[in-house]
Structure 1
Amino acid sequence: MIRSIAIDDEFLALEIIENYVDRLPLVQLVQTFTNPLESLAILGTDHIDLVFLDIDMPDMNGIEFVQSLKEPPLIIFTTAYSQFAPEAFEIDAVDYLIKPIPFERFLKAVQKAQQRLNQKDNRNQQNCLFVKSDYKTFRVDHHEILFIEGMKDFISINTLKRKIPTLLTINSILEKLPSAEFIRVHRSFVVSINKITSIERNHIYIDEIMIPIGDVFRDELMKRIS
């Protein structure tokens, strides 16, 4: 199931997207917004795969909004203007739909998004990943990872053998890891679910290592371990 949101300052445009999504069993429209800034909370705490995004909006246009996101989800632009297409594809948009949008064209765009997500899932099914650290590339087996800590400009992958600093973000490393085995528990921490030894109040323990639990991540953590 593709979890999506739609952002457009026109209510009629949002209604059309809702109607189209209702006809597609492979997509769930989680929420709609008339202002892109209002969607930041759900993009920061919930798992959203895809955004249907208008471009010409007050305060901040759609392209500027995507550029402001550290790790944007997949984007399908929905707009009445063709002149922004080169900029849209420069930021790796899945597709660029011109209003009024025929359903068949909408379906084709969603299928493109599904293909990209399938490719990412296939990568996640591997049992290891390769990361660059300084001038070396390390192979890291998934089962060796204890937790990942986000620093200011890099992350530290903490394994059974070593700590590996690498110039990635928390969101980008999550895309490389199987979601069934790893979970984000704090703005700065991802843990291996199988390595958790205990949970006490606002902390997770991996043996003697104590990791904080962020308030916005607590409910999802408890669902996953229950």
Structure 2
Amino acid sequence: MEIKYIVIDDEPPAHHVITTYAQRFPAMQLLQTFDDGIAAADWLRHSQPDVIFLDINMPDISGLELAHAIGKGPMIIFTTAYKQYAFEGFELNAVDYLLKPVSQERFERAMEKVFSLMQQQPAEKETDHIVVHSSYQVLKINTHRIKYIESLKDYLRIHLHDAPPVMTLMTMKKMMTCLPADKFSRIHRSFIVAVREIRSISNRRVKMNCGMILPVGDSYIQFMKEWKQP
């Protein structure tokens, strides 16, 4: 999975900063850089990136005016040296607002928002895979590889058959919307299991084929009854 982006800024050094930071994310693919908003607007009539890093204070057309013209579609991250534009930037539903000079840490926080928003897009109900953001990457994981999923505060740990666990920033509720409902069940506030991986259920304990024993929460007792039905 690739996240295609462009940079629009009349200062060439700003292009270098953004593209250098973006190289740490294997999923990020640079399509184009522009040093004037008019040329960028012409290009955007025929192409649509996933993300636009957009300077606000440009000589030909301001980034705010360009964002108005672009409308809905690409996610916009404003980059500027002027704090006074922040409110109007967020009024345009920008994903983030980066003040120059942009630090690596601040850039990464903006990208976390991008990946989170992409994960919130409606999931395909009959999919055989999930897409998650982990360690600067966007990973596609086949659901047949998943044994169970564990909640750790704001993160999920996805336990796999053929690889080390994958950590991702996502809620259990969101994860359940991404998984096939007939193949995965939530058995506890902290656990989702692949139904095919269950060996047995006894005394509100689920024994997995891998040997793990997981608890069944009070709110999920019905799952035990349904699983035991022929």
TM-score normalized with structure 2 length: 0.51
Contact map agreement 1:74 1:94 (CA 8 A) in 2: yes
Q: Structure 2 stretches of 5 or more lacking a match?
A: 127-230
Contact map agreement 2:41 2:66 (CA 8 A) in 1: no
- CA displacement 1:87-129 (0-9 Å, x = unmatched): 0000100000111111011011011011112212xx15258xx
Match of 1:97 in 2: 98
Contact map agreement 1:76 1:96 (CA 8 A) in 2: yes
Match of 2:58 in 1: 57
Letter in 2 for 1:11: P
Instruction: Return the alpha-carbon distance in structure 1 between the equivalents of residues 94 and 56 of structure 2.
Output: 12
Deviation at 1:47, TM superposition (A): 3.6
Sequence identity, in percent? 42
Instruction: Please tell me whether residue 67 in structure 1 is matched to residue 71 in structure 2.
Output: no
Match of 1:107 in 2: 108
Letter in 1 for 2:117: R
- The secondary structure found in structure 2 opposite 1:31 is strand
Match of 2:124 in 1: 125
> What is the alpha-carbon root mean square deviation over aligned residues?
1.6
- The secondary structure found in structure 2 opposite 1:76 is strand
Deviation at 1:70, TM superposition (A): 3.7
Deviation at 1:67, TM superposition (A): 0.6
TM superposition outliers: structure 1 runs of 4+ over 6 Å: none
Deviation at 1:37, TM superposition (A): 1.8
Q: Structure 1 stretches of 5 or more lacking a match?
A: 128-226
- CA displacement 1:11-48 (0-9 Å, x = unmatched): 11111111111122121111100012212344232341
Letter in 2 for 1:111: E
Letter in 2 for 1:89: F
TM-score normalized with structure 1 length: 0.52
| Alignment CA distance shift 1:44-1:84 (3 Å) | same
